[in-house]
Homo-oligomer: A and B are copies of this chain.
């Protein structure tokens, strides 16, 4: 095994150990020492890969979002038009909710940290801006291809992102309170009825 590959495997082992520890005890209550113990590694190995628990957490979040981005990209390219692409993304959200449900409490802690720490704040804010830009682009493409009415792309993107964030929050606080996957799909259908030409 190459040195580089071994390095990547150690990195992944730390990330997975951290994910497990955070899910069980929360972000604040988890120490670097515990993550190392769980991963079967020394602190030296940890700090070779991550400068801090905070840096590790930001990488966890970014990996999770990269995965989501890839799914969204493929939904967009495989769909025949923008409304179908949006609806496919809504369908995916069902599995996203299930996969990620254990991670949501960590997201709340992340927000608490974000309010107090400028570096975490930047990492917490970035995805919102990115998804707003992504959906705004997509709405513009829909208007160009003639599948959507000439709505305001930025406002519509903001509504989509806000709706998704609101559903994510309620779904993570109250997983049994509704059929969240169904609600996501029905909400998007409702919005699309207004948006489609």
Contact = CB atoms under 8 A, between A and B. Distances in A.
Interface of A: 26, 28, 104-105, 108-109, 111-112, 114-116, 121, 124-125, 128-129, 151-152, 155-156, 158-159, 161-167, 169-170, 173-174, 177-178, 183, 186-187, 190-191, 193-194
Contacts of A174: 125, 128
Contacts of A177: 125, 128-129
A111 B109 CA distance: 8
Contact of A115 (B125, B152, B156, B173): B173
Contact of A166 (B129, B169, B194): B169
Contact of A161 (B109, B166, B191, B194): B166
